[in-house]
Amino acid sequence: VTGDEVLGGRVGEGNAGFLARDLAGYGIRVERTLIVGDDVAAVRDGVGALLSLGVDLVCTTGGLGPTYDDLTMAAVAEAVGRAMAVDTAALAMVDERSRGVPRRFGVDEESLEAMRRKQATLPEGATVLPPAGTAPGCVLDHDSTLLVVLPGPPWELQSMWSAAVAGEGPLRDLLGRAPGATTRTFRLWQVIEAELVEALSPLSPDDLDEIGTYTREGELEVVVPTRLAERVGTLLTASFADAVFATDGDQVDAIVAAALRRRGERLSVAESCTGGGLGARITAMPGSSDWFVGGVIAYANAVKISLLGVDPAVIEAHGAVSRQCVMAMADGVRRATGAEWGIAVTGVAGPGGGTADKPVGLVWIGVAGDRGTEGFELRARGDRASIRRRAQTSALHHLRVALMAPA
Amino acid sequence: VTGDEVLGGRVGEGNAGFLARDLAGYGIRVERTLIVGDDVAAVRDGVGALLSLGVDLVCTTGGLGPTYDDLTMAAVAEAVGRAMAVDTAALAMVDERSRGVPRRFGVDEESLEAMRRKQATLPEGATVLPPAGTAPGCVLDHDSTLLVVLPGPPWELQSMWSAAVAGEGPLRDLLGRAPGATTRTFRLWQVIEAELVEALSPLSPDDLDEIGTYTREGELEVVVPTRLAERVGTLLTASFADAVFATDGDQVDAIVAAALRRRGERLSVAESCTGGGLGARITAMPGSSDWFVGGVIAYANAVKISLLGVDPAVIEAHGAVSRQCVMAMADGVRRATGAEWGIAVTGVAGPGGGTADKPVGLVWIGVAGDRGTEGFELRARGDRASIRRRAQTSALHHLRVALMAPA
């Protein structure tokens, strides 16, 4: 991964993560991810270090733009000891893509031509990958490693990668030779890591060494080699029963979506401390408009009262962060939108606003359906962002449990 | 950065980014970020490779938990050739922190004791850093590099880092010797990179080499060494005037927040395609409750009509993705909440739902204030997530422009 902006933390790393997830489906494990700045020597040395691992595949992302700090192609050429040359196929693609790019200020034709030629200059012997934006990528063989040079903007990278994977060529051949998925992912809710260690104690130390665990937002993720999946599944179910909510890597979001779709019911949300984040997370799923109608961001108490119909006396008596208020919010959004389900979140996300009685991290979750309304307390640790994410996840889990309840 | 879950893209990398941003304030530049899996040899070799760069500081994050795949301390000890020993100060901290951790299933006392001792075992000669969760970190000197071992959960890392930076010790000494911030960040709205190249053409190639640029969500970020900041500021203002919205790294979010606070006015939002993401982004800022009241997630047209009072005839005649509809949404949320300002977003985020007339990426932004209501068209490229983020950023910029307009 190249880019001062990623290395400096001004933009999050997402490209290596995307590639790792996609490659995992082919059973290809990422050995190392290296982030370097926009500097020819750093990129060259970084690519060199990765090539020296003797891996099958090295991907680079970023640094393919038209400007002076986009220097990945030159650095890759140095790393593999090849000259650079304008690739006529690449140049035609860049010319085609550059047409119609908006120009507000006068950039002279000579500069534009230089930029286009720069973007079409590849290491000799490389095969061009057609641009998704304006920058082509390339694929080249070096000793026994395939080197794939990809752009930095996430959607350009994803488009180019998908096209390269789908098309004929050395990348497709490499993926075709890969073993296929080698792990299975179990997810548990409200189980802590120490309990997991205990539950898996019948396994040998060597087997345990191959199991990865990760705790996040009240969920525990357990990544297991395929050969152990059945045994681990049995042990987990024996110890934790319904707390095992996914045995094949599903996320709670997808589980809730599938259940609502199956039941033909609609969902609405009322959010205070999450400020819209729960709705944003739900609507991140394409097709959510089939079952999600929207709701109310009830950040101010006045909005809880006016748009959700929460009785001011409830807030007066119990406060906005209370079981009574969250149940009224869930009821209110269900009624206001006409959806079959309403979920509500209200809490103290911090850093300010905590009291001895209602400390930072206290969150109430409400779930309203045609069988009644319930309120659940959550005590989350961490900073404002963690508390808000945890509250969203918890709300989805409480809805999941309600959706799964026998009729 | 250690962790199979980060390397595999199952959780985003944020810790190295956090440290990089914090260190930038001291004028400390990150040379390299390396992500490796939960494997002693990989962590040991990775730490060794970073130490061999001869840098002042190497930080590790992750792998300090109680379980079998948390092995960073052992790997660090191998990398610096030191033995491991239980640190009595660390053990006391772990014991203190472990009290009151919830236990739902029976984990026997012997296992718990083994876990506590594991977490308190440090490389010899290291100084313990008190845990924010249950896992202590440590600091140790190796040749001329300071090595800081930090936990993986972001809030634990951030708490431990802040405490280590604030307290007496070798880390504080190192930061005290650092030069201070060495760059300044300019941000421009709706300026493309090619125009920037032209605007900065009076600079020498060597100067240009030191300038980093990054395009994101319609904004262009320009990171400039302090010695060039004044000259670049003059060139940018000459070419782009008001398009330069920040000359010191401010984000549009903070600019809008400050303006609303200064004016003593309140904001509300009405969101269709962003599904709550704009509200979530606004409320990510602590203290936003002083000026943000909430709003409506109007994902379904029925909610646009019932909660925002959009005239069904407007949707019938122009569609939900139209100037007319977005203006009615902005008006409606302003009226429904009583806030001085209402902003609204409606668009086609894709991947489905696009037509020749209204393709994926078409978004309308509405801004309603006491001087009237306006609608703005945006044509965003990219995938669903990019389009939604771009729409949020664009909405904040249109509000910013409205807030800055002379009375």
pLDDT, one tens digit per residue, over B211-256 is 988 888 889 999 999 999 999 999 999 999 889 999 988 899 999 9
- Looking at residue A105, its pLDDT comes to 42
Q: State the average pLDDT over residues B23-51.
A: 95
Mean pLDDT of chain A: 93
Query: Rounded to the nearest 5°, which phi and psi values hold at B116?
Result: -65, -40
Q: Does the pLDDT of residue B397 top 90, yes or no?
A: yes
The pLDDT of residue A407 is: 64
Q: What is the pLDDT of residue B122?
A: 96
Minimal Cβ distance to B276: which of A102, A191, A279? A279
* Cα separation, A172 vs A156, whole angstroms: 19
**What is the pLDDT, as a whole number, of residue B209?**
84
Helix (H) or strand (E) holding B129: strand B127-129
Sorting pLDDT into bands at 50, 70 and 90, what band is B101? low
- Percent of chain B as helix, strand, coil, to the nearest 5: 45, 20, 35
CB contact under 8 A, B299 and A287: no
Nearest CA in chain A to B337: A303
Mean pLDDT to the nearest integer, A147-155: 94
Please determine, for residue B78, whether its predicted confidence score (pLDDT) is greater than 80.
Answer: yes
pTM of the shown model:
0.87
Q: Is A103 in contact with B192 (Cβ distance < 8 A)?
A: yes
**Which residue in chain A is spatially nearest to B388 when comparing CA positions?**
A284
Task: State the virtual CA torsion across B67, B68, B73, B79 in degrees, nearest 10.
Answer: -160
CB distance B222 to B211 below 8 Å:
yes
Of A71, A64, A102, A108, the C-alpha closest to B197 is A108
CA distances from A194 to A54, A236, A364, B67, B106 (A): 37, 13, 26, 7, 10
Q: What is the mean pLDDT of chain B?
A: 93
Find which of A23, A26, A31, A33 to mutate to test the B interface (most B CBs within 10 Å of its CB).
A33
Contacts of A106 in chain B (CB under 8 A): 198
Q: What average pLDDT does range B121-134 have in this prediction?
A: 93
A212, B38: Cβ pair inside 8 Å?
A: yes
For A132, A136, A150, A171, the CA distances from A164, given in Å and listed in that order, are 11, 12, 10, 7
Greater model confidence, B192 or B50: B50
Pick the closest to residue B393 from B363, B369, B368 (CA basis).
Answer: B363
| Tens of pLDDT, residues B310-326 | 999 999 999 999 999 99
* Pairing between β-strand A57-61 and β-strand B183-189 as defined by DSSP bridges: unpaired
Helix (H, G, I), strand (E, B) or coil at A285: coil
DSSP letter (8 states) at residue A36: B
Terminal CA-to-CA distance of chain A, rounded, Å? Answer: 51
CB B278 within 8 A of CB A276: yes
pLDDT at residue A227, as a whole number: 93
Residues of B in Cβ contact (< 8 Å) with A8: 17, 20-21, 24, 29-30, 223
Residue numbers in B near A155 (CB within 8 A): 381-383, 386
pLDDT of residue A101: 56
Cα A91–chain centre separation: 34
Contacts of B34 (CB under 8 A, 6+ apart): A32, A33, A34, A35, B1, B46, B49, B50
Distance of CA A253 to the CA centre of its chain: 12
Res B104 pLDDT > 80? no
Using the beta-carbon criterion (under 8 Å), do B4 and A69 form an inter-chain contact? no
- Distance (Å) of CA B44 to CA A254, B47, B51, B84: 38, 5, 10, 14
DSSP state of B118: H
pLDDT of residue A15: 97
B407 band by pLDDT with thresholds 50, 70 and 90? low
The pLDDT score that the predictor gives to residue B35 is 98
Q: Can you tell me the distance from the alpha carbon of A400 to that of B373, in angstroms, rounded to the nearest whole number?
A: 41
3-class DSSP state of A2: strand
Structure tokens at A63: 């640094």
* Token couple for A90: 């690449």
Query: Is pLDDT at A245 greater than 80 in this prediction?
Result: yes
Q: What is the mean pLDDT of residues B306-313?
A: 98
φ/ψ (deg, to 5) at A111:
-65, -45
Work out the average pLDDT over A259-282: 98
CB–CB contact A289 B280 (8 Å)? no
Q: Taking CB atoms and an 8 Å limit, are B297 and A299 in contact across chains?
A: no
Tokens 């720069």 belong to A118
How many Å apart are CA A250 and CA A221, to the nearest integer?
10
Task: Indicate whether A230 pLDDT > 50.
Answer: yes
Q: How far apart are CA A66 and CA A143, in angstroms?
A: 29
pLDDT tens per residue, range B178-214: 988 888 999 999 888 888 988 999 999 899 988 988 8
pLDDT at A100 over 80: no
**Model confidence at A104, in pLDDT bands (50, 70, 90)?**
very low
Give the percent of chain B with pLDDT over 70. Answer: 98
For residue B294, what are the β-bridge partners? A298, B268
pLDDT at A68 over 80: no
Q: Are A5 and B352 inside 8 Å of each other by CB?
A: no
CB contact under 8 A, B33 and A7: yes
Helix axes B15-24, B154-166, angle to 10 degrees: 30
How far is A274 from A280, CA to CA, in rounded Å?
A: 10
**Which class for A40: exposed (0-12), middle (13-18), buried (19 or more C-beta within 10 A)?**
middle
Of the two residues A100 and B376, the one the predictor is more confident about is B376
| Residues of B in Cβ contact (< 8 Å) with A196 | 67
Mean pLDDT, residues B156-173 taken together: 94
Measure the CA–CA gap between B296 and B273, rounded to whole angstroms. 12
Cβ neighbours of B39 (radius 10 Å):
19
How far apart CA A397 and CA A321 sit, in angstroms, is 20
Could you give phi then psi for residue B41, rounded to 5 degrees?
-65, -40
CB contact (8 A) between residue A9 and residue B3: no
The predicted pLDDT at position B105 comes to: 42
Site from A104, A283, A386 to mutate, B interface, most B CB atoms within 10 angstroms: A283
